[in-house]
Amino acid sequence: MTTFSEIINAGNVVGSSTVSHPSGSGGSFDNGSTSIIVASHSSFSASGFISVVDHRGETQLLHYKSKSIGGSYQSLAGITGWEGVGNVEHDAPVIETNTPFTEVSIT
């Protein structure tokens, strides 16, 4: 049996950046991480909904509670909503939308 999933009602894009792991191209943030460092969070809201494709090619639909700056790093913090086991790699695009995501699965 095959299950197909589609993301609908993703809202309008309000912010975008890329993942910026301190280790560079070999680095990734583990599935379940509560924060992700991004190249810049200036276009992101104080809190919101993001999508990012993990190393397995699956879209993670996540919620973040705040933005923070620690030293030279800008991060999205308080992240929840992880599924599966995929990690988020350096340079992966991060997109913020202005509404929660709706995912529909058909088996």
Total tally of structural domains belonging to the chain:
1
Domain extent for 71: 4-106
Would you state the pLDDT for residue 71? Answer: 84
**10-residue block means of pLDDT along the chain (107 residues)?**
59 83 89 95 92 90 92 93 92 84 66
Would you state the pLDDT for residue 102? Answer: 63
Would you state the pLDDT for residue 7? Answer: 57
Q: What pTM did the predictor assign?
A: 0.80
Phi-psi region of 44 (alpha: psi -120 to 50; beta: other; left: phi over 0): beta
User: Which pair of structure tokens corresponds to residue 88?
Assistant: 């988020």
Contacts of residue 84, defined as CB under 8 A and 6 or more positions apart, other chains included, come to 31, 54, 56, 58, 60
